[in-house]
Amino acid sequence: MLAQNKKLKRVTMSVPLATAAEPTAVLQPNEISCRNTAALALTVVRDGVITGEGPTTRGRVHFSRALDADDADLCARILTSTAVEHQPVSRAEAEALFEIDDAAAERSDNGRFDDLLAKAVVHHAASESGLPVPPRTVALSPETRIESWAPAQPVKVDTEVLEWLASQMRGKRRGNRTLMRLVATIVGATLPFTQIPSVFDIGM
């Protein structure tokens, strides 16, 4: 019985990685057709970060649980594909980025992914709250300061969006201070910034 359980465990754990790795074509930004395929492409990046193998890591040394500049650049190119550049970042895309963030224990991207994550999540949250957001090619660009388009004053956020944000940020091993500060602004938090981690129970 124990041997059967171990065998079943091996099979069930390998399925998500194999399934996500199949649509390698969507990794080419010019072949992404919608936000769903963009989110799916990001899950392939996530799997490459977790395993250090797969279509996103070919041609270079890539350790498991590591994120490098090529990974961050690929995420940016996926998110700014022509088919989606004028649409708000979707919930599925934002969640895929959070999963990549969780998977990457080691970073060698000079902060590019953290910047992209913060901008993408705020882009999603702001648009879901009925606020205008710039095209992704502008909003997510490393040359664009997030303060130039993100809400500068507290705004009313849909309760469901707020609950989603809190669930995604709760207990994170890595604290994205830019994201925390902007989320605090969006939700209209009145607490000092130093107390924001305790509100969301974020690991710093």
Annotated domain spans of the chain: 2-142
Quick one: 177 exposed, middle or buried, by C-beta within 10 A (0-12, 13-18, 19+)? middle
pLDDT value at 29 more than 90: no
Report which listed range, 90-104, 140-154, 189-203, is most confident: 90-104
Q: Using CA atoms, how far apart are residues 98 and 96, in angstroms rounded to an integer?
A: 5
The model's pLDDT over 140-193, given as tens digits with 9 standing for 90+, comes to: 999 999 889 987 776 666 778 888 887 887 766 566 777 777 666 665 543 344
Quick count: other Cβ atoms within 10 Å of Cβ 95?
17
Higher local confidence (pLDDT), 1 or 122: 122
Q: Residues 66, 94, 183, CA angle at the centre, nearest 5°?
A: 105
Per-position DSSP letters for 93-129, written without gaps between them: HHHHHHHHHHH-SEEESTTHHHHHHHHHHHHHHHHHT
pLDDT value at 112 more than 50: yes
This prediction's pTM: 0.77
Higher local confidence (pLDDT), 50 or 155: 50
Which pLDDT score, from 0 to 100, does residue 164 have?
87
The model's pLDDT over 115-145, given as tens digits with 9 standing for 90+, comes to: 999 999 999 988 998 889 999 999 999 999 9
Per-residue pLDDT band for 2 (boundaries 50, 70, 90) equals very low
Which pLDDT score, from 0 to 100, does residue 167 have?
82
The model's pLDDT over 3-28, given as tens digits with 9 standing for 90+, comes to: 444 443 333 333 344 333 344 433 57
Q: What is the mean pLDDT of residues 39-60?
A: 94
